[in-house]
Amino acid sequence: MKVVYADNNATTKVAPEVVDAMAPYFTEYYGNPSSMHTFGGQVAKKIDVARQQVADIIGADPAEIVFTSCGTESDNAAIWGILKSNPHKRHIVTSRVEHPAVYNLCKYLAQSGYHVTELGVDSKGMLNMNELADVVREDTAIVSIMYANNETGVIFPIEEIGHIVKEKGSILHTDAVQAVGKIPINLAKSTIDLLTISGHKLHASKGVGALFIRKGITFTPFIVGGHQEKNRRGGTENVPAIVGLGKACELAKTYMSEEQSRVKQLRDRLECEILKKAPDARVNGHKTQRLPNTTNLSFEFVEGEAILLLLNEKGICASSGSACTSGSLEPSHVLRAMGVPFTAVHGSVRLSLSRYNTSEDVDFIIEHLPPIIRRLREISPYGRETKVKEQTAKVSAKV
Ligand code: PLP
């Protein structure tokens, strides 16, 4: 069956070049990088190559990169690591639209006695900078604000955020899981102190991530064990996955301009055609301050779950912010924070592309998604009401 994969913010295909780079580290070079012998030593050297490749894509120094097991671990390590190093500071600032890796951790910390301030967003998913400046205080240990949103693709003005955080003498962590590889990032001239990366969002494998920790930041390790990663993360390194992450970052640098041009054009055409062809459709999130690959659309009065099931029948993979499909009891906290009405949150669909998507993929989605929405509208009691209203409006306009 033909599969059109438009769920790249959930996970990405591992690039064939990445698979090739990883393979020998399962079969030939399986030594422990911490061993004294040359067999292990050559593996340690390859980890250093990967560290340089990861550092390069974000303009960091390799010494500032710590390998982890995933984006969630990097987020947890960043926040815990700073809180533990600054025990007298008990305040955390974050936003209401963070990924659960930060959002739920902050909720947990609030229950454990920390003070957490969650910043709201406007209807376009943007933060209010004045509000940020007002809430950061002397005892704010860390401000954790994402670089780009996984549901809407909205990009926050992270450097502007960083300037405010620095003025107030606090530390800035950013979850850049969705941004790295899609948009240029240069930490050489930046106000960011810690930054999270996840391998499987940029065509590396699952089970690997990285945390950038700026030189000079005092950091207490989250996973305590051996001396790996210069005492910043215990545990034998996942060598094949780390080698793959390095290769994926090198490739992402090469493909960055394509992401900005061809992938963005595909996304724009997809969005534009769906808006034209599907009734009562809207885009959630800022139209320009957005990742080039993501569109989050709402179709009022239809169920996101039903849309996904019918898309799935056609072989189209997407995701939704409706409660049933998001695996939680609550519908998308991101869309709710933006004030998207419940009826639209329930009918939301996220389509996220990658460099592996083709123009034919986009044609296929444009061919199949609007009829699915019309079909669901036909059987929706709300849909019928809308239609009656539309017809009445047309009749009275003619009169
Ligand atoms: N942060 C963001 C913005 C994400 O989109 C994700 C995954 O969806 C994560 C963190 C978690 O990353 P991982 O799946 O590597 O734990």
Distances from the Cα of 183 to the Cα of 201, 241, 388, angstroms: 13, 23, 45
Pick the closest to residue 284 from 50, 126, 61, 170 (CA basis). Answer: 126
Distances from the Cα of 7 to the Cα of 48, 119, 150, 372, angstroms: 32, 28, 11, 18
Query: Is residue 170 within 6 Å of ligand 1 at its C-beta?
Result: no
What are the structure tokens assigned to 263, written together? 């992938």
Q: Whose CA is nearest to atom 13 of ligand 1?
A: 71
- 3-state class percentages of the chain: helix first, strand second, coil last, to nearest 5: 45, 15, 40
Closest atom of ligand 1 to CA, residue 200:
15
Residue 206: strand, helix, or coil: coil
Whole-number pLDDT of residue 389: 53
Query: Is residue 326 within 6 Å of ligand 1 at its C-beta?
Result: no
Q: What is the Å distance from ligand 1's center to 354 Cα?
A: 16
Beta-carbon contacts of residue 112 (< 8 Å; ≥ 6 apart): none
Q: Whose CA is nearest to atom 8 of ligand 1?
A: 10
Q: What is the Å distance from ligand 1's center to 112 Cα?
A: 23
Whole-number pLDDT of residue 260: 86
pTM, 2 dp: 0.94
Whole-number pLDDT of residue 188: 95
Q: How many CB atoms lie within 10 A of CB 380?
A: 19
Whole-number pLDDT of residue 1: 83
Closest atom of ligand 1 to CA, residue 98:
3
Closest atom of ligand 1 to CA, residue 206:
15
Q: What is the Å distance from ligand 1's center to 78 Cα?
A: 14
Query: Is residue 99 within 6 Å of ligand 1 at its C-beta?
Result: yes
Residue 58 φ/ψ, nearest 5 degrees: -115, 10
Alpha helices, H only, the chain: 16-22, 24-27, 38-58, 71-85, 100-111, 129-135, 158-167, 228-231, 239-258, 264-277, 304-313, 333-337, 342-346, 359-379, 381-398
Query: Is residue 70 within 6 Å of ligand 1 at its C-beta?
Result: yes
Catalytic residue among 70, 106, 317, 324: 324
Pick the closest to residue 267 from 182, 185, 359 (CA basis). Answer: 359
Query: Is residue 101 within 6 Å of ligand 1 at its C-beta?
Result: yes
Our CA dihedral for 307, 312, 315, 317, rounded to 10 degrees, sits at: 80
Query: Which pLDDT tens digits describe the chain residue by residue (399 residues)?
Result: 899 999 999 999 999 999 999 999 999 999 999 999 999 999 999 999 999 999 999 999 999 999 999 999 999 999 999 999 999 999 999 999 999 999 999 999 999 999 999 999 999 999 999 999 999 999 999 999 999 999 999 999 999 999 999 999 999 999 999 999 999 999 998 999 999 999 999 999 999 999 999 999 999 999 999 999 999 999 999 999 999 999 999 999 999 998 889 999 999 999 999 999 997 899 999 999 999 999 999 999 899 999 999 999 999 999 997 766 667 767 899 999 999 998 899 999 999 999 999 999 999 999 999 999 999 998 877 655 555 555 554 544 444
Whole-number pLDDT of residue 399: 46
Whole-number pLDDT of residue 398: 47
Whole-number pLDDT of residue 126: 97
The residues that bridge with 174 in the sheet, in sequence order, are: 195
Whole-number pLDDT of residue 259: 82
Cα separation, 268 vs 256, in Å, equals 17
Q: Specify whether the CB–CB gap between 206 and 186 falls below 8 A.
A: no
Closest atom of ligand 1 to CA, residue 11:
8
Q: Specify whether the CB–CB gap between 152 and 125 falls below 8 A.
A: yes
Q: Specify whether the CB–CB gap between 181 and 71 falls below 8 A.
A: no
Q: What is the Å distance from ligand 1's center to 371 Cα?
A: 32
Whole-number pLDDT of residue 397: 47
* CA 51, 53, 55, 58 torsion-angle sign: negative
User: Ligand 1 pocket check: which of 198, 293, 296 to mutate, most ligand atoms within 8 Å of Cβ?
Assistant: 198
Whole-number pLDDT of residue 43: 98
Q: What is the Å distance from ligand 1's center to 72 Cα?
A: 6
Q: What is the Å distance from ligand 1's center to 196 Cα?
A: 9
317 has catalytic annotation = no
Distances from the Cα of 350 to the Cα of 282, 302, 308, angstroms: 12, 15, 10
